[in-house]
Structure 1
């Protein structure tokens, strides 16, 4: 009995060259072949057998395939299939601006990662503490933006996380939690602001004053260290 052969997936030209019929699809369930692009794009008024019912005339299949792939309808549908792909590869799709924005954002974060890796290598090479990395990342402009967001949200809570370093000097970090109202999508965010020198219990009052933050707007306060945790939230 005649049956479909995988040899039909390849067409041999008169000059001896071959190319793949990427549009050709064989269904084992139906035991028929179909044209993928024509099945997608052929109009309701004009439909070939390869786009609708499928073909299983294996005796005359070679002739039917040549007739189909040389038809105007098939070539038009092939163009409709591959033209969007070419536009996407050339970045000329309808979402061109969005794609360019995504690429710029990826490149920006790639540059940020390069800088972070460079700083980490520098710290490791010179045997410096990794808190210097946070200080590097927390530039004056970044911290100014954070403080602006905190002031816009009005109320905020603070978390003071304290731990001793190798010299037994207490290292305290100041983290502020507030409601970000700078955009339509309101969300709760946390910001690391700086390292604090632990001298006495007035450290929070002093740092709020230095950052121009009103201590009366604090609605939550917590302390955390290796052996004890106290406070209110």
Structure 2
């Protein structure tokens, strides 16, 4: 209630360790939320993230950093983050390729878990496999699942039936024979917790 000294009290609070620590946490959380959202959009649109440079405001630094630069023109959180980076106030900034890869992996894991959850509710599912060598000449097998998803009361107009098809992952194939592919497939389905036994009822 010391209103006459309010400016002094506020200044003291703003420079207190507790306030500065809380502000730092708030800043990093807001930065991370925006970067995750940006990577989700780029991934959804099948747009490459990186270029030949990994620094802000350089030519050919990729779509991710170019969009960060664009966001900094209109978003106060990213603008402040860029200011801290360019003034060398901070060196760890969440814009590097390692953080990008980690966010991509976390998003991929979440998507995969969502797909597997829906697949396990389906009565039947099928698997499609395709093989192709990668750039290092290692045979890669794609694992794709297809199943029927039923939502809402069956037979009710409010419910819906959808055929869904999802890519799950690439599998390194060391034995490209039919037996080798089958063995790898059964192993992977077991790891994913997918039932390969015939169901009844």
TM bracket (short chain): 0.3 to 0.5
Q: Which has the higher helix share?
A: 2
Q: Which has the higher strand share?
A: 1
* TM-score, with length taken from structure 1: 0.38
* TM-score, with length taken from structure 2: 0.43
